[in-house]
Structures are given as structure tokens and as C-alpha cells.
Chain A
């Protein structure tokens, strides 16, 4: 059976994926208007990258909470380290690419990240988590 905090993480994960989908669709529309086809690719890649990294954070805490304290922190912090390293490598690979529009990619990533923070805050503020739970 799921604890209330596990239910909360599942809800946040669903909402974050929906947000990335919305940013991808909206960004594609704006991208094709302002930057042409590279704008579409940029917004889709930016939204996809943010979705994967947001999901990695929530997923690591969600599944880590089933492990002991050491396993939990190994998964959360190891996941964070891996994520930042992957993100830096991916951005390095994308930087010279001609099919990417830099400003569109930046705004897709920032829009998804800030929207994700708003969702996280909303989910936590509206959560009902008992003080003591087994």
C-alpha cells in the first residue's frame, strides 16, 4: 500500500509530465512562428530534457523511500550527480548543433523548470500528510 507521501510523489510526477507536454506543444507553436523548424526541435528537446530530469528527482525520492536511510540518500544524491553530469554533457553536445535554436531551447528549459517548481509547491502545500505514519 502506498503511503501518503508516495501518493504525493506520484501525483507530482504526473503533473510534471503533463506540464512538459504543454510546454512542448506551446513551445513548438511559438518556435515555428519565431525560429522556424529549429524552434520546434529546440522546444521539444528542452521540454523533454526537463521532463526526464524532473522525473528523475521525484522518482529517486519515490522509490528511495522504500529503501533504508542509506539506500535512500545513495539513490537521491547519486541520481542528482548523474543528472547534472548528463545535463552538462547533453548541453555540450547540443551547443554546436545547427538544428537547435539557442533562445528557444533556453526558454523551453526555463519554462519547464519554473513551471515544475510551481507544481511542486502547489502539490506540497495542498498535501495532507499525517505527522506519524508507518
Chain B
């Protein structure tokens, strides 16, 4: 039986990897920031503490993005 190509893709698969590396942290940072805004709106006097906690949340989330974007150097 002959093999038939039903669809053909061209381009670099790394672009899909970039999208996957960006979408998760993007949702994560959005959630962290939205909850911080909500908390500051409820208790504005806690803004300093909440910003520090938010920074830690963003740092952990963006680490995932940076590692994800650097993976082509080791797996590419």
C-alpha cells in the first residue's frame, strides 16, 4: 500500500515550543497579578507585603518561561 501525505507542514517546530513555553507562565503571572490586585483592593494597607509575595510568585513562574525558552540549546 502506498503511503499518502494528507498534510504537509513547513517551518520551524521551535516556534511551537516558544508558544508552549510562553502560555503556561503567561496564565500563571496573570493569576498572580490578578489576585494581588484583588487583595490590595480589599486591604490597601497591606500593599507592601502583597507586592513582595507577588514578586516571589512572578519569579517562580517566569523561571519556567526562561528555562523553557533556553531548552532548544540542549535539545535542539
Contacts and interface: CB of A to CB of B under 8 A. Distances in A.
Interface in A1-16: 3-5, 8-9
Contact of B29 (A80, A102, A117): A80
Interface string B31-73: 0010001001000011111011111101110110111011111
Interface of A: 3-5, 8-9, 50, 53-54, 57-58, 61, 65, 69, 72-73, 76-77, 80, 83-84, 87-88, 91, 94-95, 100, 102-103, 105-106, 109-110, 113-114, 116-117, 120-121, 124, 127, 129-133
B76 interface: yes
Given A65-B47, A113-B67, 15 more contacts: A3-B48, A5-B52, A57-B55, A61-B55, A72-B51, A73-B37, A77-B29, A80-B58, A84-B22, A87-B69, A91-B73, A95-B72, A109-B67, A114-B63, A116-B63
A57 B59 contact: yes
B4 interface: no
B7 interface: no
Contacts of B1: none
A110 B67 contact: yes
What interface size band does chain B fall in? 20 to 34
A5 B48 contact: yes
Contacts of A106: 70-71, 73-74
B52 A95 contact: no
A132 B69 contact: no
Given A57-B58, A127-B52, A132 B74 contact: no
A100 B73 CA distance: 9
* 6 pairs of A and B residues whose beta carbons are closest in the complex: A102-B73, A5-B48, A106-B74, A106-B73, A109-B70, A132-B45
